[in-house]
Chain A
Amino acid sequence: EAGVAQSPRYKIIEKRQSVAFWCNPISGHATLYWYQQILGQGPKLLIQFQNNGVVDDSQLPKDRFSAERLKGVDSTLKIQPAKLEDSAVYLCASSYTSSGTHTFGSGTRLTVV
């Protein structure tokens, strides 16, 4: 089966600019996750979708981050405006059920300068 697709692979932006990341999960996976992985740390969950509904966004900085999964398939994560501390790898993962094993994409490495 095809894996979790993410784009772009790398992005460099200036602070206060906006950026968007795209994720296409494995076909049939109802649950989609966005994680932020800062260098030297483990992934931190930003938001979890079940189909097109949000299950958990308690750690999403909602003043600048937003995410959507309108048709319950692919998803977009946006940052506006970006800050220096947003520099990280943004990982998308999906699973068949909310308790299933995560399959991760390769991630988008964001550098904010």
Chain B
Amino acid sequence: GDSVTQMEGPVTLSEEAFLTINCTYTATGYPSLFWYVQYPGEGLQLLLKATKADDKGSNKGFEATYRKETTSFHLEKGSVQVSDSAVYFCALSTNTGNQFYFGTGTSLTVIP
């Protein structure tokens, strides 16, 4: 069945370091891909999305490119800040749009 696999955390980085959080997916057809972020004590917020192959989603300095050939949607940021400390979830929506699958989440802590 459809699923999302993302790298396990926790990840700890120093401020201004480069961030990569890996995400790969298994799906039939052409899913839409998402990154959600969950700050402490809050609900999930959409960070970025891509709906077709080679699309790049970007927001708040974060980027992810929908790679069909490698079935990946890795999250990157060139210079992280303390305020980026959160849990990041990769997710996919099936091409019928009726089902949504989340990865297990990757906790990121950025230290000054």
Contacts and interface: CB of A to CB of B under 8 A. Distances in A.
B98 A106 contact: no
Interface residues on A, range: 20 to 34
Contacts of B97: 97-100
A105 B89 CA distance: 16
Nearest to A92: B43
Interface residues of chain B: helix, strand, loop or mixed (majority):
strand
B100 A106 contact: no
Interface stretch (A12-20, A38-46, A77-85): A38-46
B42 interface: yes
Contact of A42 (B41, B46, B105): B105
Given A101-B34, A101-B49, A91 B44 contact: yes
Contact of B43 (A44, A99, A106): A106
Contacts, number: 52
B62 interface: no
B93 interface: yes
Interface of B: 4, 32, 34, 36, 41-46, 49, 89, 91, 93, 96-100, 102-105
Contact of A56 (B36, B43, B98, B104): B98
Given A41-B104, A42-B105, A102-B46, 12 more contacts: A42-B4, A42-B91, A43-B44, A45-B99, A91-B43, A91-B44, A93-B44, A99-B93, A100-B97, A101-B46, A104-B43, A106-B43
Nearest to A58: B99
A48 B98 contact: yes
Nearest to A101: B46
Given A102-B46, A104-B43, A105-B43, A45 B89 contact: no
